[in-house]
Each structure stands twice: as C-alpha cells, then as structure tokens.
Chains A and B, each alone.
Chain A
Amino acid sequence: MSGRHRDKVRPTVADALEPMFDGARVMVGGFGLCGNAEALIAGVVERGVKDLHLISNNAGNLGKGLAQWLRAGIIGKVTCTYLGNNQDLHDAREGGVVDIEVVPQGTFVERIRAAGAGIPAFYTPTGVGTVVAEGKETRDFGGRTYLLEEALHADFALIRCRAADPFGNARFWRTARNFSPLMATAAKTTILEADGLVELGAIDPDDVHLPGIFVHRVVEVTDHEDPFEYRTVREQRA
C-alpha cells in the first residue's frame, strides 16, 4: 500500500504527464502568458492526447502558450474569460473548430474555488440581467438578485510555481499566482512545474501559498521563456 502523497517528484515532463488521457478536462494556470507551465503545455502536445476541454483564462496569445494547443488541434472545448487579441482562439471560434464558453472572470475563479472546496454551486451578483444569466436560476437575497453558478471541476490542473518542495508545497512569484492555487484544488490530479525544487522545510510553513495536499506530481523545470505580452516602460529619470 502506498498513499497518493508519496514519491511525487517526477524526473521528466513526459513522466509527469503520463496519466493524461483523451477527452480530459484540463485546467491550466496563468494570466495570458504570465505564469504559464511552459514545459507542461509543450509536453501535452508531444504526449499526443486530444479532444481536451481546456479551462484557462485566455488560452494563450501571440501564438505562444496554450495557442500551441489550438494550433495542434487537440482542444474540443474552451472555458475562458477573455479572448482579446488571441487570433488562434478567434480563428478556432469562427471556424467552429472549438466550442467556447466565456465566463466572467470572478465567476470563473469562484466556480473553480467552489469545486475544490466541496461546494456544488453558489449565488453571485455578477452577470444578473446579462447574457451570462440566460437559462440560470436566480434568487433574491436582501432585495438584490443573484445568479446560481455551478462548481467547475477538472481531471488535471497544470500549474507553474517559483519554488516547490517534494511534498508539493509551493510558492508563486508576483502576479504569476493568479488562478493556479485554486485550480490545484479543483483537479483530481495536479501537476506542478517548479522553477526550483527545494528541500522539505526550506519553505517556511507561513510562506506556503499552496499546501502540498493539492499537488500530486512535481517536475522541476529551470528554463523558461516567460514572454512579454505588452512590454511597457517609463522614461528613465534624468
């Protein structure tokens, strides 16, 4: 007998992705290209799975990140919040290749949080009186109308962090955290791409952003492209 929290560290990306299967619901962390699990994203294309239901804020941009999955034709459905200038996603939508569900961002992350927390549905004020409310139950509380939204579960979460230990305790960097720690809670199997693997105890217990209970496989990847979407600077002080 061996509990599922033994031996999480995997030697390669391919090994870490071994349990993935066709038709899986896959959450991928990142806000656009910020905080992407770059090696896992590329690894999924190599792994050869298809008909995936991608759950991610943007599905890539500039041909990078998850746009690689769109170009490889391995996605059947996308649940996202924003298409923006992601031409690959616009093409996939307009070509009818991919079924796209667009969700308000706060509702998107709360649906994920609810799934991870064992809450099947919740009421939110966001989207009342808009197309988002179509076909959904509403209820009034304290004189205001709220919309019933259901939890969003996944088979896999692919996330990236700055540092992780062998149990999967993780720390993120700046705004690269975004959806990732919530997605980790909502997936049956969470695969973590760590910029650096550190010893147990190296992350102070008070500084753990994501406790290892939500992580199942860890792979260390030290090299990342970390592309800029919009590199904006101000003039140097005189």
Chain B
Amino acid sequence: MSWNKQQMAERAAKEIEPGSIVNLGIGLPTLVADYLPDDAGVWFHSENGLLGMGPFPFEGDEDPQLINAGKQTVTVVPGGSTFDSATSFSMIRGGHVDLAILGAMQVAMNGDLANWWIPGGKMMGIGGAMDLASGAERILVLTTHTTKEGDPKLLGACDFPLTAKGCVDRVITELAVLDVTGDGFRCVERAPGVTEGEVRQKTGAPVTF
C-alpha cells in the first residue's frame, strides 16, 4: 500500500499552519488546497500577482484576467488583493511567504532541488521556481518517490540543473514523509503498509528511521 495523489495532498495539507501564507506550485501541489478546513485562515499566494486566491470559478464566472501562475482561471476570496509582479516577488524573495509546496524532478540529501529542466528534454523555462525555492521561508516538496522509469528522485546529489541549493526542508511522496538531514534523509512517517526496506530500496541516498 502507498498513498494515492489525493492522500499525498491530504498529508501535505497537515504541514500548513493556520494563519499562514502559502504558495502552491503547478501540478500535484495545487490539490493541497482541497484538504484544508474552511476555518484554516490560510492565504494562498500566486506569483502572477494575487494574494487570497480562491478555488476555480463556477461555470459562467470565469474571468480571463483572473488567473493563477499556471494560467488557470481562479477566483479571489474576500480580503484578497491583486498587485504587480515586483510586489509579488518582494513577497517571495523578502521571506514573507511562509511555505511553498513545490514539485520536483530531483531532491538531494543536502536539500538541493532540481525541478525546472531535464537536459535533453523540452526546456520549459524557470518561471517563478528559483525565486520561490530560494525565497520562501519553508520548502515542502510533493512528488512521486521515483520517476516513471523507476529511478529514484531522492538522491545523494542532483544531476539535473538546480533550481536552488540547500532549500528543501521536507519531502512527501506516495511512500513516506522524509526530512533532509545533510548526509541523508530521515523518514518521519511511512504510508500504511510501506516497509523500511521499500523506502530504502527506492531512495538513492541513506535513509534513517
């Protein structure tokens, strides 16, 4: 047994403190918002210039000029604000965003993150990834434990071009919750039925339990 995507998002939601500012990366991290209690008092930041991002609009309410950083139509909650990109990245770079939940291609045991380009593949660009990785107060990575080919994503060192050095605090995969220790990963929780051996076998760096 391991966690499915919804269970991973639900587990990630537990990392969010009430009354905090959170930026959710494109893809799997966007699911996390669905698992917060209504009274959490969490403000979602989107780097294209929105604080207080709400859920997708009801059909008919879509506004092409109200989008998230993934260019999806969204809504703004009461108390939300819109602003220019310089202000938005001041929020990020200035350490005002409490938590960023990001996807990953590789994470190293020293906290290095690679999540923007696999050399030889299509170069999608950097976007806000480097600013978020180096600027947010805490970085939580939400990713599959291995690639589609079964190669480990949690490694001794990243081969792919880095997004930022030493930025990752914690990783949540379908198998486990792991903290970066510098000389390995410390497993702080395992999905139901997942053994220590399986986590060890699928991780490309030492794991302690």
Contact = CB atoms under 8 A, between A and B. Distances in A.
A, B bound: yes
Interface of A: 31-35, 61, 80-84, 90, 93, 102-107, 109-110, 112-113, 124-132, 173-182, 209, 226-234, 236-237
Given A106-B93, A174-B76, A82 B126 contact: yes
A125 B129 CA distance: 13
Interface residues of B, number: 50
Given A90-B122, A107-B131, A232-B72, A34 B86 contact: no
A109 B84 CA distance: 9
Contact of B49 (A93, A178, A227, A228): A178
A112 B89 CA distance: 13
Nearest to B89: A106
A229 B130 CA distance: 23
Contacts of A112: 86
Contact of A105 (B50, B84, B124, B126): B126
A127 B85 CA distance: 18
A173 to B, nearest CB: 5
Given A82-B127, A226-B65, A178 B84 contact: yes
B70 to A, nearest CB: 7
Q: Which of A105, A113, A124 has the most CB of B within 10 A?
A: A105
Nearest to A35: B65
Contacts of A177: 49, 82-84
Contacts of A130: 130, 161-165
Interface in B88-131: 89, 92-93, 112, 122-131
A228 B73 contact: yes
Nearest to A162: B65
B93 A31 contact: no
Given A81-B126, A182-B84, A231 B73 contact: yes
B78 interface: no
A218 B51 CA distance: 30
B17 interface: no
B67 A34 contact: yes
A31 B162 contact: no
B125 A175 contact: no
B74 to A, nearest CB: 7
A120 B129 CA distance: 25
Contacts, number: 169
B82 A175 contact: yes
A127 B70 CA distance: 21
B62 A106 contact: no
Nearest to A90: B122
Contact of B128 (A34, A105, A234): A105
B66 interface: yes
A236 B60 CA distance: 10
A209 B82 CA distance: 11
9 contacts: A35-B65, A82-B125, A109-B85, A125-B135, A130-B161, A175-B48, A230-B67, A232-B72, A233-B62
Contacts of B66: 174-175
Contacts of B125: 80-84, 102
Contacts of A110: 86, 89, 93
Given A102-B125, A178-B84, A131 B161 contact: yes
Contacts of B124: 82-84
B35 interface: no
B71 interface: yes
Contacts of B126: 81-82, 102-105, 132
A80 to B, nearest CB: 7
B19 interface: no
B165 A128 contact: yes
Nearest to A112: B86
Given A34-B71, A105-B131, A174-B82, A233 B64 contact: no
B162 A233 contact: no
B54 to A, nearest CB: 10
B198 to A, nearest CB: 32
Contacts of A131: 161-162
